[in-house]
Each structure stands twice: as C-alpha cells, then as structure tokens.
Amino acid sequence: MTITAPDPAIDPTVVPTAGPQTKGPVRRALDRFFDNRAARAGLLIVVPILLAVSTYSLWWPFSPNAIDLRAINKGPSAIHWLGSDGVGRDVMARLLQGGRISLLVAVCSVAISIVIGFLVGAVASFGGRLVDGTVMRFVDLAMTLPPVIFLLVLASIAGTGIAPTILVISLLSWPVLSRMVRARLLELRERDFVVAARGMGAGLPHLLFRHGLPNCIDILVVYATLQIANAILLEAGLSFLGLGIAPPEASWGNMLNLARSTVVLEQYPWQWMFPGAVLVLTVLAINFIGDGLRDAFDPRSDLN
Amino acid sequence: MDAPFLTVRNLTKHFAPTAFSRGPVVRALDDISFDIARGQVVGLVGESGSGKTTIGRSVLRLIEPTSGEIRFDGVDITKLSAGPLVRQRRKMQYIFQDPFASLSPRMTIGQILTEGLDIQGIGSRRERRAKAERALAAVELPVDAYDRYAHEFSGGQRQRIGIARALTLEPEFIVADEPVSALDVSIQAQIINLLRDLQVRLGLTMLFISHDLAVVEYICDTVIVLYLGRIMEVAPAAALYARPQHPYTRALLSAIPSLDPLARQGRQVLKGDIPSPANPPTGCVFRTRCPVALDACAGIVPPLRATTSDGHLKACIRDDIA
C-alpha cells in the first residue's frame, strides 16, 4: 500500500497560507524579549560585565594576587583605579577575578541544578503514580530543610573551594525546578500530540527530549537566569561566612568579607563598596533579563 | 468470509483510585465485544461520556484495558511486550478530535510528519521527507507547508495535517476520534470526503468515532451504538437507520432534526442526563431513561444478541416492541 497523488476529482479547496515563511515560537519569544526595555537595560549591563570579567587579563596590568607594597590600603588612583587592599593587591584586578569566580560558580551550579531538576521532574511525571508519589515526597523533604542551615552543614562537609561551592549551591536549588518541570510534563503527557507520538511507538527518551524538553524550555531559561542571580548571592553569602571561596582566591563574597572589620568599613570604603556595587548591579540586571524572558515566553503575551 | 481484521472481546476498563487518591471505581467500559472486517468502516456513536474515546484509545493500546482481548490481524495486542508493540504501532494510527491540540506548537509540519518515521527508524532523511511530502499531497496541502508551523494553519488545514501524520506510517487501521466535530460545517464535508476517499483508495480499515449520526450514516458500513460503557446495538448502517431495534437508538435517531413537520410529532425525547459511570444503574444501564423499561430490566444485564438475520444485534429484553 502506498500513498499516491490526490484524486483531482476531489475539490481542491484548500488554500495555502500566503506570504513568506513565519517564525517559530522561540524566535517570536526572542522578538518580544528585545521589545522589553528593562530586559535590554539588563543586557546592556550584563554583557559588558561578562566581557570585562572574561578578558581582563589581556588589558589590565595587575594580577589579582600581585602585591604592591607601596600601595597598601591606598584609595583609587590613576594606577590602581579602584584602590588597593590591606596587603597591596589591586582591587580592580580582584574585582574582575572575583567576578570570574562568582559567575563561574553561579553558571555551573545552575547548570547542574537544571539537569537534576529536569531529570527528577521527568522521572516523577513519567514514572507512574507510585514513583511520582515517592519522588515528590522526597522533593518536599528537600524543600522543607531550612536553606541556611542546610547550606552550612553541606558546606562544612564539602569544604571550601570552587568545586564544593558549586556542589553545595546546586544541591540546594533543584527542588523548586523539579516541581515546575513535573507540573509541566504531567500536563504535557496528556496532550494529544504527545499521545500521537506514543501511538507511533515513541519511547521515554523521545517523549522527554523531543517533546518534554522543548516544551519546558521557557521554564528552564527563566529559572536559569533568575537562579544565576540567586546563586551569585548564595556564593557571596557562603564566602562572606568563610565557607565558600577561600582566600587568597578572590570572589565578590569574600571581598565583601573584608567589611567585617570596622577599620576597613570606615576608612577604606573602596575595598568593599566596589564589589558590593557590582554584585548588586549584576544581580539586578540578571533579574531584569529573567523577568523579560519570562514575559517573552508567556503564551498569554502572544496577543499583544 | 475470512477472519475479522480486528476482534475486540470482553474489553473492560475501570478507572480505579490509587494509593494516593480516593474515590469510586469509574466503569468506563464494560464487556465490549465487536469485530471489524478488513477494509470496513465501523462507526462508534454515543453521548458524551459513553466511552467512545476510551474504546478508540484502548484498541490502539494508548490506554491499558483492565481486562479483555484485542486481536489485531490475529495478534493479541493487549499481551504484546514493549518491542513488538512498537513495531505493531506502525500498522495502527489515531486521528484526533481537536486539531489545535493534536499538533505540537514547537515543531514544524515537516518534523510532525516525519516523527513517526523517525521513531520507527524508517528510511533516510531524504526518504522521510519524500514520504511526508507525499502525505501532504494526499491530504491536498501544498508541499511548502513542510517548513511551516502549525499555528499558521486554519482548523481544517490542521486536521488535514493530523490525517497526513496518521498516513505517513502507511497504517492498515485508523481510529478517527470525532475528526470533524471541532470544525465548522463547510469544512466538515471536505474532511469527511477526504477521509472517505483515502479510506477507499488506501483500503484502510477504520473505527470512526462520532456523535453526529448523519456523518456516521454517510461514511460507515456498520454502526455500534454505545451507552454508558456498554454496547446497546450493532447493525449495518442501512439497517440501523431504517429499522432501529433498541429504544436508545430510536431516541437518538428521532433527535436528528427533520424538515417534515409530521415527523416531529412522533419525536421521542430522552429525559435527564446520562448516569454517572461511577455508579451505573443495575441491570440494563439504559433503563433509568428508557421509555419502555419494565421492572425486569433492573434484574438482568441484557446480552447483546441477534434479533434478525441481517447482522443486527441488540442488548434489550423487549422483543415485543421491535
């Protein structure tokens, strides 16, 4: 049996949609995103910061751990633009290196928590009711743990450094995502086009990655941006408490840690004010971007 | 006459509460048996909630039946394990009611049409595309639809895409679940004619689910009348419309609008709603709304049996009213 050309006896009344090819749903969401002023402002802040942080070693003369004994606790000057700290290290260099570490930790931990969150949500929604019930009670448990204490316990077990900090932050932040993914996939599972795929013999990998993932992309992108901001703050908090990134390695959090000393707080404000300001600015800008993405992916905003 | 292509025996589906929920057992289907011969179109009619879609999906094993047997060309698909079931799925496809829900908004028409071939690992990329384009031609859509998204098409065009998707795997059997009830009347006729033409041209066997009796009369060879998860009457389409045997079928047929004012006077209007399948009436499930029910109807579940020689079956104990 083969499918042959149509019978001309049937009235060919179907009119093809005229005009040029139109965009897919992701392209339309991106167009909406770039129409959003706050989101554009966020990009305008984040992109230069990212560029500066990733390329600073090419154009900034000082390295973050180089000591200039003639410039201990000196304020901003033509040589050290943002001043120098108590052992004569350049604050600008440390700020940029700290940004590198903070953003690295944030991006990696969010990537890990997205993988965990998506897989847990997928298992819960496609694994049948028993698996779903069991996994979600476990997720509830993970969500009820008080975050700060959980973080401190984990950090004291895992120790300090970049890898343990990434681990700790990613272990803390996946449960919320897994609930969102589960809710989306539970709904998706009953949609006709997914039933059709099952009817054509689709297995779990096909359903998850050809239907599940594309239809969760909005959740994942929005979660990722908002969570990166959150992870930067968590890293700063951990490092501030001395559990995240340990000195002499720089991070925005452990630079702020210096402000615990009253002398630094009062007499050398450039040592904590700049990392604080960049931290706030970055987190704010990323949040703008996240909000913009959320609005852009919201199907209800399709109407305007 | 050779063995029927599709044989359904004692198909039962109960939706039971699970460990995490409570509630009554919903008896969606009870003891459903019917046959479909190769190349035949069988209509499945009934009110909302009578179990039409549950039968359609169970027959393709998109829903796991509670019990019963579904023989597809001799193979009992209820007992197939995962691997053979995937291969079996090539031969049977589903056409959905809602053309807006049945196409993924995130895939191009080409991706939608080649999905089945992709899953089944049939052909190279180019062959898949060629098959998909042939399917588009078969449903009279332009080939440039291939790279577009579903939202660019109207309801009727989307339904054609849904039909094309079912055809790409070149199935032998198709379940069409109210394929026209979401479309407006002028488009309905086009889609029905298209389905009928394809059915004849490709020699498809079809289970056609509908609540529109006029459409069913036009396209089906045999009609099954369903009420509350049970078969009330099975008959060749012509016989059913000419001489309905079951009081429920008579009520359904008399609900079809008529231009003849005299015919309206004899209309039989059913009172009330279909009872809950969570708590169906004892005996004959239709007796609570039946105009000719007897006390005895509460006592026994009427078996589906032949009443005349022309293949007419009914589940009613009242032979005196036929």
Q: What is the pLDDT of residues B190-237, one digit of tens each?
A: 999 999 999 999 999 999 999 888 889 899 999 999 999 999 999 999
What residues in B contact A297, CB-CB < 8 Å? none
| Residue A256 maps to a domain | yes
For residue A252, the enclosing domain spans 31-54+89-298
| Residue A217 maps to a domain | yes
What residues in B contact A203, CB-CB < 8 Å? 82, 86, 119
**Does residue A4 register a pLDDT over 80?**
no
User: Quick one: what percent of chain B has pLDDT higher than 90?
Assistant: 46
Spatial distance between the Cα atoms of B268 and B265, rounded to a whole number of angstroms: 9
Give the up-direction half-sphere exposure of residue A114: CA atoms within 13 A in the CB hemisphere. Answer: 21
Say yes or no for a CB contact (<8 Å) between B96 and A6. Answer: no
Interface check for A201 against chain B (CB to CB < 8 A): the answer is: yes
**Does residue A239 register a pLDDT over 90?**
no
| Residue A8 maps to a domain | no
Q: Which of A118-122, A218-222, A246-250, B256-260 has the lowest average pLDDT?
A: B256-260
The per-residue pLDDT for B298 is 87
Mean pLDDT of B77-106: 90
Token pair 């720089």 in the structure block, residue:
A250
CA distance A283 to chain B (A): 31
pLDDT digits (tens, 9 = 90+) for A79-100: 888 888 878 888 888 899 988 8
What residues in A contact B157, CB-CB < 8 Å? 14, 17
| Residue A232 maps to a domain | yes
| Residue A78 maps to a domain | no
Interface check for B86 against chain A (CB to CB < 8 A): the answer is: yes
**Does residue B272 register a pLDDT over 90?**
no
- Candidates A2, A13, A14: best to mutate against B (most CBs of B within 10 A) is A14
Domain count, chain A: 1
**Does residue A15 register a pLDDT over 50?**
no
- What type of residue is B76? D
| Residue A59 maps to a domain | no
Compute the mean pLDDT over every residue in chain B, rounded to the nearest whole number. Answer: 88
| Residue A166 maps to a domain | yes
Say yes or no for a CB contact (<8 Å) between A196 and B167. Answer: no
Q: Domain holding A159: CATH number?
A: 1.10.3720.10
**Does residue B282 register a pLDDT over 60?**
yes
Restricting to B residues 191-210, those with a Cβ less than 8 Å away from any Cβ of A are 193-194, 197, 201-203
- What type of residue is A226? L
| Residue A237 maps to a domain | yes
Give the up-direction half-sphere exposure of residue B192: CA atoms within 13 A in the CB hemisphere. Answer: 22
DSSP string, A78-137: SSSTT-B-TTS-BHHHHHHHHHHHHHHHHHHHHHHHHHHHHHHHHHHHHS-HHHHHHHHH
**Does residue A111 register a pLDDT over 50?**
yes
Tell how many helices (H) and how many strands (E) occur in chain A: 12, 0
The per-residue pLDDT for A40 is 92
The per-residue pLDDT for A299 is 56
Interface check for B71 against chain A (CB to CB < 8 A): the answer is: no
Interface check for A128 against chain B (CB to CB < 8 A): the answer is: no
Mean pLDDT of B11-32: 83
Say yes or no for a CB contact (<8 Å) between A201 and B94. Answer: no
**Does residue B166 register a pLDDT over 90?**
yes
**Does residue A18 register a pLDDT over 70?**
no
**Does residue A174 register a pLDDT over 60?**
yes
Report if pTM > 0.95.
no
The per-residue pLDDT for B149 is 86
Interface check for A27 against chain B (CB to CB < 8 A): the answer is: no
pLDDT digits (tens, 9 = 90+) for B93-118: 999 999 989 998 888 899 999 999 99
The per-residue pLDDT for B310 is 76
Interface check for A262 against chain B (CB to CB < 8 A): the answer is: no
ipTM over cut 0.90: no
Q: pLDDT band at residue A303, thresholds of 50, 70 and 90?
A: very low
**Does residue B22 register a pLDDT over 80?**
no
Q: Which of A91-95, B28-32, B272-276 has the lowest average pLDDT?
A: B272-276
